[in-house]
Structure 1
Amino acid sequence: MSSAVEIRVLKSNHELRQVQVLEKEVWNTDPIPLHQTITASQNGGLLLGAFIDGNMVGFSYSFPGFRHGKSYLCSHMLGIHPDFQEQGIGARLKAEQKQFASKMGYNLITWTYDPLESRNAYLNLTKLHAVCSTYIENCYGEMEDSLNSGLPSDRFKVEWWINSSYVSEPKAIHAANARHIFHWDMTELSFPKLMDIKDGLSSVRESNQPLYVPVPANFQALKNKDGKLALDWRYKTRQIFQTLFTSGYAAVSLVKGETAAVCYYLLVKRELLDLD
């Protein structure tokens, strides 16, 4: 990265209009109305901008949430200009979001992402130490953008317990005895295919050990070449994660597979995690 990145809180009308411009450049969709982001920023929300040489190249948008008598910060959107992606700016924004949110009195930040997008999974779970034990079917309904079209918009809802020792003093999860109970093979087009999952699902209820769940390392490439296979991954992993979460498991990290074709989620019993 040639120039230093400055992260700052966004509050002015001018800055929030820059967010709208960036939204269009990142997703080519209608931006969030200005009155919404201004109202959120004035009522417990948090908008951050990443600037290089005075130009906004990334942003994050969060607003307050409330459930079971407790408030949290709902991190709804994070975008990086296409010319500046994969340069660590997203991680910088999340780190600053964590610091500002803690100062504002929040203990928890939540957000959603597609569990089949391995890059997002690695950042959210492995790098940031968020966890997930909530699976939402078709969260946003039918979506027409290139990343989501043709598939149910299933999402993980992750929890980032920003003041917990799990996040502030991360320790390696003991996965030496983690089991592979869901298996995959390669198709004729050289894409990974998840095999029958019935035996694996039946053994979940009898297990307390850490478990691995495979996902494609490059889901978009697979989806673009074989839409039917992409749907197969969606529906099978939906069953797997719903069963595991109902059985008390939480997804805690994503690790590389033995080949470049897949990565693996590591799931452990949630009760073993020091999240409070």
Structure 2
Amino acid sequence: MHGTQQLEKSAESGEIMMSKLLADIEYKTAEPIDVPMIKQAGQLQQTIWGNEAVTAFPEMMAIIRNGGCLLVAYHREQAVGFSYSFPDYSAAAGKAYLCSHMLGILPEYRDRGIGMRLKLEQRQWAIRNGYEKIVWTYDPLESRNAYLNVCKLGGTAASYVESYYGESRRGIPMDRLVLEWDLQSSRVIGALDGRKPAVPDAEGLSKLVSITAQGAPEKHSFEAGQQGYRVAVPPSIQLLLRENPELAKEWRFALREALVPLLNAGYRITSLQRDGESIHYVIEREAGCTS
């Protein structure tokens, strides 16, 4: 597909998805002159995560002036959510990409499609400004985020970073998967059109981690060289953290031990599948997930 046709198709896919989302929220892109908007984004960070997570105003201003993007969602002129990204560079690819650093929504406005819309607005801004890829991190134990990132947005993950943010207050390492969103790939365009990425038959994939009747991870032996694998993930890590932090910690290390060697060996997370009450990551060889 020629570049112009690809861009038109890409924009059309984003618009179709946007039309299905909440209509009474307004989305604005901050310019360097929009000082109140930039300060509102800082206030949202403080409200959502506390003082330790707040990005300094001068830093946000400098990043907006130098290839970054700040989007703010408003409901009746109240700032209720935002996304914040800055430019980065891949020496291997020889290209700049956009690093999506923060996305936050006030608790009372969650589960209303705002997060999805912020990602779509961010994507359109990135394409207009010459970026081909957006990268961000997420907790591999957050199956809900994983489904949004991989299945609904069409991203893939091929890198696992241990203790990305150190340890939580409960002493659990804050590991992260690095999600890559190739903005105009056929995979992403298909996902935004509502088509789930094609994956191998689940029954033909070996399980490296499954979930027991008690909700604990059960690890299985690793046979190298297969086309794909499945790794279970708990249905609600937040509930587990509240009710059984030790079991949550056990899940952290079970996923780390399964995913790190696979991703280091050239595999990539390409989907999530539900098997009865269980949810599994689908991990395929790198060659199997090119667009």
Moved over 6 A (4+): none
Deviation for aligned residue 1:246: 2.2
Q: Is the 8 A contact 1:3 1:52 kept in 2?
A: no
CA gap of 1:49–1:194, structure 2 versus 1, over 3 A, is same
Match of residue 10 from structure 2: none
Q: Which residue of the other structure, out of 226, 238, 260, is the alignment partner of 1:207?
A: 226
Match of residue 57 from structure 1: 80
Between Structure 1 and Structure 2, the one with more helix by share is 2
| Distance in 1, Cα, partners of 2:22 & 2:120 | 21
Match of residue 269 from structure 1: 285
1:180 aligns with 2:207: yes
Match of residue 180 from structure 2: 159
| Distance in 2, Cα, partners of 1:184 & 1:164 | 33
Q: Deviations over 1:163-222 (max 9, x none)?
A: 2122123463132133334332133xxxx111233x1x2x1x1312x3211010001111
| Distance in 2, Cα, partners of 1:5 & 1:243 | 43
Q: Which residue of the other structure, out of 189, 193, 217, is the alignment partner of 1:194?
A: 217
Q: Deviations over 1:133-161 (max 9, x none)?
A: 100000111344xxxx4210100011000
1:106 aligns with 2:131: yes
Aligned length: 260
Q: Which residue of the other structure, out of 252, 275, 290, is the alignment partner of 1:257?
A: 275
Q: Secondary structure at the match of 1:240?
A: helix
Paired amino acid for 1:90: G
CA gap of 1:229–1:73, structure 2 versus 1, over 3 A, is same
1:68-87 matches, within 5 Å, as 68=91, 69-87=94-112
Q: Is the 8 A contact 1:165 1:274 kept in 2?
A: no
| Distance in 1, Cα, partners of 2:168 & 2:43 | 21
Q: Secondary structure at the match of 2:261?
A: helix
TM-score by length of 1: 0.89
Q: Secondary structure at the match of 1:90?
A: helix
Q: Secondary structure at the match of 2:216?
A: strand
Q: Which range moved further: 43-52 or 5-14?
A: 5-14
Q: Which residue of the other structure, out of 254, 261, 285, is the alignment partner of 1:236?
A: 254
Deviation for aligned residue 1:227: 1.9
| Distance in 2, Cα, partners of 1:14 & 1:74 | 23
1:90 aligns with 2:98: no
Q: Which range moved further: 170-179 or 266-275?
A: 170-179
Q: Is the 8 A contact 1:3 1:53 kept in 2?
A: no
Q: Secondary structure at the match of 2:219?
A: coil
CA gap of 1:196–1:273, structure 2 versus 1, over 3 A, is closer
Match of residue 13 from structure 1: 35
Deviation for aligned residue 1:228: 1.8
Q: Which residue of the other structure, out of 48, 63, 75, is the alignment partner of 1:40?
A: 63
CA gap of 1:91–1:58, structure 2 versus 1, over 3 A, is same
Q: Is the 8 A contact 2:164 2:176 kept in 1?
A: yes
Deviation for aligned residue 1:255: 2.6
Identity %: 34
Unaligned runs of 5+ in 2: 1-20
CA gap of 1:108–1:153, structure 2 versus 1, over 3 A, is same
| Distance in 1, Cα, partners of 2:225 & 2:86 | 40
Q: Deviations over 1:72-114 (max 9, x none)?
A: 1000000001110010100000001001101100001000010
| Distance in 2, Cα, partners of 1:142 & 1:16 | 29
Q: Is the 8 A contact 2:22 2:113 kept in 1?
A: no
| Distance in 1, Cα, partners of 2:27 & 2:117 | 8
Q: Secondary structure at the match of 1:124?
A: helix
Paired amino acid for 1:133: A
